[in-house]
Amino acid sequence: MTTVALKDVTKVFPDGTVAVDNVSLDVNDGEFMVLLGPSGCGKSTVLRMVAGLEDPSSGAIMLDGALVNDVPPRDRRIAMVFQDFALYPHMTVGDNIAFPLRLSGVEPGPRGARVADVAGALGIGDVLARKPSQLSGGQRQRVAMGRAIVRRPGLFLMDEPLSNLDSGLRAELRAEISGLVRELGVSTIYVTHDQAEALTMADRVAIMRKGVLQDVGTPTQVYGRPATLYVAAFLGSPRMNLLEASVYVHLDRYVALNLGEQSLYLPWDDIRTRAVAHYHGERIVVGMRAEALTPVAPDAPGDVLRGRIRYLEHHGHESLAFLDIGATAIVVDELGGPVTEQPGGPSRLRRLGNVMQRLTGRAVEAPPDAEVVRPSASRTSVLNDPGRHHRRPAELAVRLAPYPAVAAGHPLAISVRMDALHFFDGRGDRIDVGWR
């Protein structure tokens, strides 16, 4: 099946928007590659360039090792499935699926057999005589898939094909789609902003932000060893706890990570210690996912952080406690740069205001408790990132049992799995070398 290689591909639209910024990416034979990122990060533009619907401003697009920048879409052996797929309303399901075969002159006999095969594989063999208006949303999506598959393409390009469906159907269809394309062995590029879709369906995930490729790897790699602070913050629910830490080296003993009121200690023989020790006297970002944190007895020894529960969230199968440990949170704004917030900072009201502003595009008046700090001069500080930086205390997300015996205001001690910590520098790049 078709292999894809993007080499240094950039797309600048006539109005100056840089939608895709120097992206290089390979999709192997039969691979299911998911392009993941928030709205506007350039995923669809990448897909459209691979399809030939958009010309790159610079760089090369190769299919099966051949440059195709000037090859028209119809000659690329590609099938596309979009979110707002359009079925022909006056045609039956069978005729809709058969349509591409009719266009390319396949005889009625083999045409019927191919349609029956595809419809059987998609579980819509019994509705071939119906019109699209007589189908459910999920069935219509299967017909759209069938119409793409029936041509036996070398490459599938799918742009948010499930986003119009309800969540139950999405989960069902994402298993079906990934199962089906693997069975067919067709190389696939699948665009989504839904991390659950990406992590469950992909062989590899490519994560984009503002036109720039941030990380490429298997779901386990990008979740377990994210290349950048942005990827660390983007993947996972609850979000990874990202704390500002000052680094102090105690030669031949340990490296202290000062988190504000408390510290953690990386033993000298830890393989990551040398990389982190380079930042002696500077600030870095320490990431810890909720699964790296376990509640322990108040006087437990070892790598333990102590704090007070600010609030609890009950999720049925588990509860999340948000713990004030006197540290500074690094908040990565999905649309802007990293933002640092420190104790004594803005209220939830202000953060809600920020969200509303993002959703509505309208400025919301800042409550009086908001304090905007100047970017620090430190080379390694995330405060270097341009833009406004707000301050708030870290609220460390910790997983608890469904009905925990603690409540807001209670103290809580948590043990930290030091081997599960992540370290990022001020530019947001992962610190530990040889990490994947």
Ligand X SMILES: Nc1ncnc2c1ncn2[C@@H]1O[C@H](COP(=O)(O)OP(=O)(O)OP(=O)(O)O)[C@@H](O)[C@H]1O
Binding site for ligand X (CB under 6 A): 13, 15, 17, 19, 37, 39-45, 193
Q: What is the DSSP string of 258-309?
A: E-SS-EEEEETTSTTHHHHHTTTTSEEEEEE-GGGEEEE-TT--SSEEEEEE
State the minimum distance, in angstroms, from the CB of residue 129 to ligand X: 35
Cβ closest to ligand X, residue 23 vs residue 41: 41
What token pair was written down for 358?
A: 């993002």
Q: Which residues pair with 324 in a beta bridge?
A: 308, 395
* Pick from 115, 119, 123: nearest CA to 176: 123
Beta strand 32-36 with 187-192 is: parallel
State the minimum distance, in angstroms, from the CB of residue 43 to ligand X: 4
Cβ closest to ligand X, residue 37 vs residue 337: 37
* Residues 410, 322 contacting (CB under 8 angstroms): no
* Residues 263, 306 contacting (CB under 8 angstroms): no
Cβ closest to ligand X, residue 45 vs residue 214: 45
Taking the C-alpha atoms of residue 155 and residue 153, their distance in angstroms, rounded to an integer, is: 5
Cβ closest to ligand X, residue 17 vs residue 136: 17
Cβ closest to ligand X, residue 208 vs residue 264: 208
Cβ closest to ligand X, residue 17 vs residue 104: 17
Cβ closest to ligand X, residue 45 vs residue 342: 45
State the minimum distance, in angstroms, from the CB of residue 177 to ligand X: 18
Q: Which residues pair with 36 in a beta bridge?
A: 192, 207
State the minimum distance, in angstroms, from the CB of residue 208 to ligand X: 7
Q: Which residues pair with 228 in a beta bridge?
A: 429
State the minimum distance, in angstroms, from the CB of residue 77 to ligand X: 23
* Residues 43, 50 contacting (CB under 8 angstroms): no
* Residues 132, 143 contacting (CB under 8 angstroms): yes
- Residue recorded with tokens 């039956």: 92
State the minimum distance, in angstroms, from the CB of residue 57 to ligand X: 12
Taking the C-alpha atoms of residue 91 and residue 117, their distance in angstroms, rounded to an integer, is: 19
Neighbours of 359 (CB within 10 A): 8
Neighbours of 242 (CB within 10 A): 23
What token pair was written down for 68?
A: 């195709």
- Residue recorded with tokens 């969540």: 167
What token pair was written down for 300?
A: 């437990």
Cβ closest to ligand X, residue 8 vs residue 261: 8
State the minimum distance, in angstroms, from the CB of residue 97 to ligand X: 27
State the minimum distance, in angstroms, from the CB of residue 245 to ligand X: 32
* Pick from 168, 61, 152: nearest CA to 114: 152
Cβ closest to ligand X, residue 10 vs residue 376: 10
State the minimum distance, in angstroms, from the CB of residue 143 to ligand X: 23
State the minimum distance, in angstroms, from the CB of residue 315 to ligand X: 27
Cβ closest to ligand X, residue 21 vs residue 95: 21
Taking the C-alpha atoms of residue 208 and residue 68, their distance in angstroms, rounded to an integer, is: 23
